Amino acid sequence: MGLPAAVAVLAAVLALPARGLDNGLARTPPMGWLAWERFRCNVNCREEPRECISEMLFMDMADRLAEDGWRELGYEYVNIDDCWAAKQRDAEGRLVPDPERFPRGIKALADYVHARGLKLGIYGDLGTLTCGGYPGTTLDHVEQDARTFAEWGVDMLKLDGCYSSGKEQAQGYPEMARALNATGRPIVYSCSWPAYQGGLPPKVNYTLLGKICNLWRNYDDIQDSWDSVLSIMDWFFTNQDVLQPAAGPGHWNDPDMLIIGNFGLSHEQSRSQMALWTIMAAPLLMSTDLRTILPSAKEILQNRLMIRINQDPLGIQGRRIIKEKSHIEVFLRPLSHAASALVFFSRRTDMPFRYTTSLAKLGFPEGASYEMQDVYSGKTISGLKTRDNFTVVVNPSGVVMWYLSPKALLIQQQDPWGASCLPLL
């Protein structure tokens, strides 16, 4: 899409009324920790007690979120994924946790998490079995399981879709939304529904989805590799005209977990995932071992300005606005108070690239000047004018990310997203 068309789409988005699941939750993208990518379905607690899916793992992660500075930055969810349950429901048909790995039960774990100022998420599957082969939530168990999760004190539900038909999903995902709301407990609802339907219209109705779910998985599961990150990123930005209008306060596209701090990304690639997920207004759900995370990865994940951008209350998902033959791409997300976030991303694999442009070439308004802060380095530029050329040096598979706030704008002048800009001096 050319720049004028991109500007027109974003302007139209800003004019749309807010819509979404009316439970008042997830007004900004949820932040926290999720077990799956790092710990998968490891249930071998005898040989790997620190690595297996057990109450101890989630208690450890709750401790780390509370004690290592994560909670204060907004990382508040401790999310259980698959393989937590016993292989059979109890005599009353209720889901129960594995008694050896969760001897105190999920309610006690929720109490532990809540006592640390955090929230507990849990995993379910709208099907006969979960993806890992544990009891699923068939249609006749939707209301019962919603009540069970609420009684346990759960704060978020991720509902997967293995072992179910499209017809069952079309009935079951809305039914679970109603059942969760009927419990009276505020439970953020994460749906995998669109990922099982190809992620795009006509099979996926994003208007309907936004009325049912707080966030949803659109595409493939992330793996611990740069190729996986690129594949997800490419799908999201190739389909941004469909996906971007669907996102906003209370209803978010979810490109899947942050794999920063694991084994598959370089330092530059880790910075890129964090920046691009932030541009997408994506949930920031880490999946790494917070007990052993390296300081360099922790620094990326705890970048305060990055988190401020991700959590911007307007909740507008950004877009790719430039795709150069030089393999440099530019992404932009409009923010509150007429501010913007820019990401310059390099697909190159050879050497750092000097990319020269101006804000005018990126569609910013005439007669404006900006304060710029580099999100990673902290470097600032004061009084950057729209027509001023500048050069950024972008490392291979890396990013340069800027936060831009207007220093002076003419009254009623239109910004590149179609919203009038008042003077900010």
User: For residue 364, what is the domain's CATH number?
Assistant: 2.60.40.1180
Both 225 and 106 in one domain: the answer is yes
Both 80 and 136 in one domain: the answer is yes
- Which residues fall within 8 angstroms of residue 173, CB to CB, at 6 or more apart? 126, 159, 191, 193, 212, 213
Q: How far apart are CA 280 and CA 256, in angstroms?
A: 12
Type of residue at 314: L
Closest C-alpha among 393, 399, 158 to residue 265: 399
Instruction: Give the burial class of 120: count Cβ atoms within 10 A of its Cβ; 0-12 exposed, 13-18 middle, 19 or more buried.
Output: buried
Closest C-alpha among 401, 404, 332 to residue 369: 404
Catalytic residue among 68, 111, 221, 224: 221
Both 408 and 323 in one domain: the answer is yes
Number of domains in the chain: 2
Number of neighbours of residue 100 by Cβ within 10 angstroms: 11
Both 283 and 324 in one domain: the answer is no
The sign of the CA dihedral 255, 260, 263, 267 is: positive
Tokens of 34: 């999720």
Both 280 and 340 in one domain: the answer is no
- Where does a domain end: 264, 280, 310? 310
On whether the CB atoms of residues 381 and 342 are closer than 8 A, the answer is no
Predicted model pTM: 0.92
- Where does a domain end: 291, 310, 329? 310
The answer to whether residue 25 sits within a structural domain is yes
Both 193 and 306 in one domain: the answer is yes
Active-site annotation holds for 224: no
- Over the Cα atoms of the chain, what is R_g? 22
Active-site annotation holds for 350: no
Type of residue at 46: R
Both 103 and 204 in one domain: the answer is yes
- Where does a domain end: 281, 310, 339? 310
Q: How far apart are CA 139 and CA 257, in angstroms?
A: 28
For the chain, residues with pLDDT lower than 70 are: 1-21, 408-425
Catalytic residue among 160, 256, 289, 415: 160
Both 201 and 267 in one domain: the answer is yes
Q: How far apart are CA 175 and CA 133, in angstroms?
A: 23
The answer to whether residue 70 sits within a structural domain is yes
Both 296 and 417 in one domain: the answer is no
Ordered DSSP codes for 312-347? -TT----EEEEE-TTSEEEEEEE-GGG-EEEEEEE-
The answer to whether residue 8 sits within a structural domain is no
Q: Look up the domain containing 333 and give its range.
A: 319-421
Residue 88: C-alpha distances to residues 95, 144, 291, 377 (Å): 8, 15, 32, 52
- pLDDT (0 to 100) of residue 22: 74
